[in-house]
Structure 1
Amino acid sequence: MDRVRTDEQDPLPWCIVIALAFLALAWHRLGIPTRIYFDEVHYIRAARKLLEMTRANAEHPMVGKELIAGAMVFLGDKPLFWRVPSIILGTAGLFAFGRLMWLASGRRFATIAAMILLFTSFAWFIQSRIAMLDMIMAGFGMLALWQFAAALRLSGGKARWRLAVSGIFLALAIGTKWSFAPAAMLPGLFVMVVRLKEHGLRFLLARDSRILPGISLVEAGIWLGVLPLALYWATFAPAFLYPVRAVDPFAPIAFHEDMIRLQDSVRKPHPYRSVWYQWMINWRAVWYLYEHIDGARRGVLLIGNPFSMLAGLVAVPWCLWAAVRGRVDALAFAMLYLFSIGLWIVSEKPIQFYYHYLLPGTFLMGCLALALDVLWRRGGKAKWIAAGSLAVAVAMFAWFYPIISAAPLSGGPRSYEFWMWLRSWR
């Protein structure tokens, strides 16, 4: 069990219940549509090519495609099974997010609220039900941050193995998609800043620190830097064995230059393309599916929860203000959000979509949970505002559930209009 110095009771049972409820709901109709839809076309094809030891989708790392290929081998090459890695990592990642919040804040309400907000954020649910790379990356990423936060509560050998596990998950997250790289930098940066503040020029080798006592910064760098990089490169091992166009295991830089070139080569305009500031205000949606299939009119519309995604924007400056007043948990989630969205602000990737906001939107829900926790603790009307905010987030999820879950829709070809609150969502 994760140990936190707090008078509050660990909400571990609630974390388990919420994660299992998410798994049950996300599993419902997971095999529908019964064919490839949206960007599954890239990753299902790449997984099949991987089983043939043929190069495909070389612009992305391989872990996600390896997991999809593994599901095909051990479960079967069917739509339901293609999506199993995403739903497993989505459920595990949701649970890890709750444990991360508990370890960071030690606050019961904030932990439960964070899981409810992420559950109902739309994107986490939708990406857990499709055979894309994003949820596999995000799930591994949350597991990595949870284990790092756990290590900070320990010392010596107990902290060491948690750091090692965190490093492994960091490798798997980045080995699925590079989008997690900015967030992956923060644990190491945090340890370095604390050691510099405490020990000055001795920061590299000092072990008598208030965080990770008994472990030097050099050793922490091995677990959070060297190990993830080595394991990340090892995940490309199948590509080293391709009979044609094999990847040179001794030329990682040249190979990654080629990956970047391939990513930047996609410049054809797309009707659903968008940019970071549109994601922040929930302005541009992506239609993953809308057609008559499997006996009914069905749709999957990727947008964010209209309430929590906007409310979260107010919570970020509050977290920064709270950080100035000494709230390390608020600083952590604000920095995770800003680093993750910052990647896309400076990125030169020509074609971007709302699903790239999955990670920033996740950390945004953490910021909102911490802000609501302050209201909850004040009691009175403020407590009702906090509880009411969660109720509104859940109500929004329930309202939009049919159009984000491929449920049968009634009303003919234009039944989608019931949910089109903004013209830009069409």
Structure 2
Amino acid sequence: MTISTKPAGDGLRRRRNSPPPPKSEPATPTHDDPSAKLKPSHPYSSFLTVHVTWVDWLICAFLLLGALAVRFYRLAKLDVVIFDEVHYLNFGTFLLSNKYFFDVNPVFGKMAIAYVGKLMGLAPLPRFTALGEHVPAAQAFAARAPAALFGAFTVPIFYRVCRLLRLSMYASVLGALFILFDMMHVIQSRIAMVDSVLVFFTCVAFYSALLLWDAKNVVVIKGRSVSMLDTAYVLLYLVLTGICCGLCVSVRWTAFATPALIFTVSLYGVNPFCKEPLNVLELAVLYGTAVASYMGSFALFLLNVNESGPGDGFMSAEFQKCLVGSKHWEGGEGCGMSMWARIIEVNRVIFQYSKGIRGKDKWGSSWFQWIVNWRGALYHREVVGEGAEEKVSLIYMLMNPVMTLCIDVLMLVFIGALFYTVRYRKELRTTEALKEHLRRGGALFFAWVGSMLPTMVVYRSGPVYQYLPGLFFAQALGALGFDLIPRRMRGMAFAIIAAGIVGAYVYWGVWVYGLPLPHTEHVKRRWLPRWD
């Protein structure tokens, strides 16, 4: 069996009346083609995973350094509470003080921020009640640095995701730049909120799933000649994928689209990700570890917050008997609920409370407005100086406009190519590489739509940062769409798009770092009427 390695963007041709050309040997993979890193001696080489080369390591290192730089620059300069930090800083204090609290979202993201922050010197703080309250600079850095770290490490991992999707090096680097220089990603990585944790575990879950499916394909191909090492890789990636799926949902339930995609591909063996379904034992390990990691995050939470706190009133009297100092506390023997029962009650209360939320947020917008960057959210405003010297410092959360435009256009390119190849499938000759490219894009497209279903159906609207789980798949789909550009045009297209993204970040970066500017300069940057 011969596998074509012809680039995906060059594999579509209309049939002519003349007889088809004779079959020729497959083209030799180029340095820009991920399939060039496959084991060439194996007849089914396209099923094997893309190896990491020294070039990949170098690119990942540069991406990580760049991501750290833009996320840590002036991180502690702002020493006041902004936006939802008023809640999340309190959550961190409750966690570090072992006091029970309740939030509408699951618990893992808050634990990650608080406990990683503790390693950096974060200590319990006085309870905050309003925006603008002072935070000591050292504590502001310790509270925000965990989010910055999670956000920075997402960038090189996303590059590896793109490579495992068999995208070119140009497309993979471009996909990483989508995250590196997106103002929304950077801002959410610079404040004490959990969204960068959510995107990180979403990215790692999908990355480990891609490794899992490649490892499974190797086992299927080798059959009886499979080695213990091959089997060990499958088991390792099963466990890692399951853990990360459970953890990303235990940050926010809105991340469900990633586990749903992974579980579906694994259950049915969706081509070209996984050539055959996982067997019953493998599925049990995958699903079991996902449930265990999700439940385990709540168990760890309840073991640590075992004292009475501001969340007592949401829970039953039986639950409060397990909280030291609550009005229902009867001593160590008074707690009659099992850990499992307590976990179930917390999730039930979160679900019931969530049903009452219908997107009345001041800075909310509809899901279709997220796609076109219609509206952002004002996180902080401060007037500096007086009279003629007066300037305004803003932190305004918005997606990178050039990135948004490029992603939307590249997604349309993919949708157009998919429609064209399906509509004229009887008249076109398409390579297997192009078919697999479009199938991968189809899976990403459905995950992108699925990630917005909670807002479409339940919440109706919300702040644009709730688009982050969907934006992950939109960015991957945009990178995939880039590889539909003819190969000879990719270098120039990459240079133009990358320059536009970086230039836009520099121009609107004053809203990321709160740099003081005259009011007229801020007005110039409000290109749409709802960037208010």
TM-score by length of 2: 0.70
Q: CA deviation at 1:259?
A: 0.4
Instruction: Please say if 1:141 is aligned against 2:205.
Output: no
Q: CA deviation at 1:49?
A: 1.2
- Aligned match for 1:168, one of 223, 243, 252: 243
Q: CA deviation at 1:131?
A: 0.9
CA distance in structure 1 between the partners assigned to 2:198 and 2:74 by the alignment: 23
Q: CA deviation at 1:421?
A: 1.0
Q: Which moved more, 1:133-142 or 1:302-311?
A: 302-311
Q: CA deviation at 1:253?
A: 4.0
Corresponding residue for 2:354? Answer: 263
Q: CA deviation at 1:31?
A: 1.1
- Aligned match for 1:231, one of 293, 301, 304: 293
CA distance in structure 2 between the partners assigned to 1:32 and 1:60 by the alignment: 29
- AA paired with 1:45? N
Corresponding residue for 2:149? Answer: 88
CA contact (8 A) 2:174 2:479 kept: yes
- AA paired with 1:67? A
Corresponding residue for 1:27? Answer: 72
Q: CA deviation at 1:56?
A: 2.3
Q: CA deviation at 1:364?
A: 1.3
CA contact (8 A) 1:86 1:136 kept: yes
- AA paired with 2:446? M
- AA paired with 2:302? A
- AA paired with 2:65? L
Q: CA deviation at 1:82?
A: 0.7
CA contact (8 A) 1:341 1:360 kept: yes
Corresponding residue for 1:401? Answer: 509
CA contact (8 A) 2:175 2:476 kept: yes
CA distance in structure 2 between the partners assigned to 1:25 and 1:386 by the alignment: 21
CA contact (8 A) 2:198 2:251 kept: yes
Map 1:204-353 to 2 at 5 A: 210=275, 216-237=278-299, 238-239=301-302, 242-244=306-308, 245=312, 246=319, 249-251=339-341, 252-266=343-357, 269-292=360-383, 297-320=392-415, 325-327=435-437, 328-346=439-457, 348-349=458-459, 352-353=462-463
Distance 1:24 1:243, change over 3 A: same
CA distance in structure 2 between the partners assigned to 1:106 and 1:367 by the alignment: 11
- Aligned match for 2:523, one of 414, 417, 420: 417
Corresponding residue for 1:12? Answer: 57
CA distance in structure 1 between the partners assigned to 2:444 and 2:524 by the alignment: 35
Instruction: Give ranges in structure 1 of 5+ residues lacking alignment.
Output: 199-208
Q: Secondary structure at 2:382's aligned position in 1?
A: strand
CA distance in structure 2 between the partners assigned to 1:416 and 1:217 by the alignment: 57
Cα deviations across residues 331-383 of structure 1 (Å, max 9, x unaligned)? 2332332221233212x1366110001121222122222222332x4315x64
Q: Which moved more, 1:4-13 or 1:221-230?
A: 4-13
Q: CA deviation at 1:402?
A: 1.2
Corresponding residue for 2:266? Answer: 191
CA distance in structure 1 between the partners assigned to 2:214 and 2:258 by the alignment: 20
Instruction: Please say if 1:61 is aligned against 2:92.
Output: no
- AA paired with 2:286? L
TM-score by length of 1: 0.86
Q: Secondary structure at 2:269's aligned position in 1?
A: helix
Q: CA deviation at 1:235?
A: 0.9
CA distance in structure 1 between the partners assigned to 2:367 and 2:187 by the alignment: 19
CA distance in structure 2 between the partners assigned to 1:356 and 1:45 by the alignment: 21
- AA paired with 2:61? I
CA distance in structure 2 between the partners assigned to 1:50 and 1:270 by the alignment: 26
Cα deviations across residues 118-158 of structure 1 (Å, max 9, x unaligned)? 21222111111111111111111101111111122224211
Instruction: Please say if 1:359 is aligned against 2:469.
Output: yes
CA distance in structure 1 between the partners assigned to 2:391 and 2:111 by the alignment: 33
CA contact (8 A) 1:373 1:386 kept: no
CA distance in structure 1 between the partners assigned to 2:76 and 2:276 by the alignment: 46
CA distance in structure 1 between the partners assigned to 2:60 and 2:359 by the alignment: 43
**What's the C-alpha RMSD, in Å, of the aligned pairs?**
2.7
CA distance in structure 2 between the partners assigned to 1:235 and 1:153 by the alignment: 29
Distance 1:94 1:336, change over 3 A: farther
Distance 1:152 1:268, change over 3 A: closer
CA contact (8 A) 1:43 1:57 kept: no
- AA paired with 1:148? A
Larger radius of gyration: 2
CA contact (8 A) 1:44 1:82 kept: yes
Corresponding residue for 2:44? Answer: none
Q: Which moved more, 1:8-17 or 1:300-309?
A: 8-17
Q: Secondary structure at 2:36's aligned position in 1?
A: coil
Q: Secondary structure at 1:291's aligned position in 2?
A: strand
CA distance in structure 2 between the partners assigned to 1:261 and 1:278 by the alignment: 28
CA distance in structure 2 between the partners assigned to 1:33 and 1:336 by the alignment: 36
- Aligned match for 2:90, one of 41, 45, 48: 45
Q: Which moved more, 1:125-134 or 1:384-393?
A: 384-393
CA distance in structure 2 between the partners assigned to 1:296 and 1:151 by the alignment: 53
Cα deviations across residues 175-215 of structure 1 (Å, max 9, x unaligned)? 111121121111110122227x99xxxxxxxxxx8458xxx
Distance 1:106 1:418, change over 3 A: closer
CA distance in structure 2 between the partners assigned to 1:39 and 1:378 by the alignment: 45
Q: CA deviation at 1:401?
A: 1.0
CA contact (8 A) 2:361 2:462 kept: no
- AA paired with 1:305? N
